[in-house]
Amino acid sequence: MSVSSPAAALGAVHTHADEDVLCIPRTTIFPGAVWHGLVTRGLERVLRTIRAASEYRPRHLVEDDPSQQQVIPYCIVHHPEDDTYLLTRRLRHSSERRLHNLYSLGVGGHVNPGDGERFDPIVGGLIREWGEEIICPARATASLVALLNEDSTPVGRVHLGLVFLVEPEYGSVSVRETEKLEGEIMTLEEMRRHYLSMESWSQLCYDDLVAGAPARAERSPLVVELPPAP
């Protein structure tokens, strides 16, 4: 699934059986009461905590273990030229069977050991996933805008989202793995009709976008320049 880009140098894609993924203990990231939804402040501190206390664990051992939060860079694509977004739907061949046929505002995935060979692991995972999942003719800027936790679903309980707003310099994006995803470019108003069929993470992010998330990108503690993904 890798492409000819800097992402290709970050390591091969593993199957679930032998894939190691970046995790952080739940009690470390939530030392007090566990919150639900999006957190938009203190993101720099969260990044320091993840970098200091996370470690790689076999995915098959943590996939149903809420004591370990699997770190997921989660990219929301925004086209500033016409204020549109990429909305995808997971098809039957998608690897995450628990999310089949649901709509998603975000693309992304787990962070693997190879992602830390040339970059900070979070940055490396972000670049690799972008190249694997998206076709984009231009460079793009990814800005961390929120931390996401959602415990109401089995998938949400074991994952921790780092929400990035990604804006291409020009043009629009499309999905690469069309056997797993279908994508459409829409305004927030147009995609409102799909709200009840969105993944829980995407519903939270949609509400945040309506509330003005793009304006926070200018104050992001982590900004990553993504290469074109031809």
**Using an 8 Å Cβ cutoff, are 68 and 28 in contact?**
no
Domain ranges of the chain: 6-226
Q: What is the pLDDT of residues 193-204, one digit of tens each?
A: 999 999 999 999
Specify the pTM: 0.88
> Residue 9: which pLDDT band, with cuts at 50, 70 and 90?
very low
pLDDT tens per residue, range 83-135: 999 999 987 654 545 545 789 999 989 999 999 888 899 999 999 999 999 99
How large is the average pLDDT for residues 54-63? 96
Alpha carbon 160 to chain centroid distance? Answer: 9
- Read off the tokens for 152: 């109401």
SS3 116: helix
Kindly report the CATH class assigned to 6-226: alpha beta
Q: What angle do CA 38, 149, 120 make, to 5 degrees?
A: 90
Q: Tokens 């039957």 sit at which residue? A: 92
Average pLDDT over residues 174-196: 93
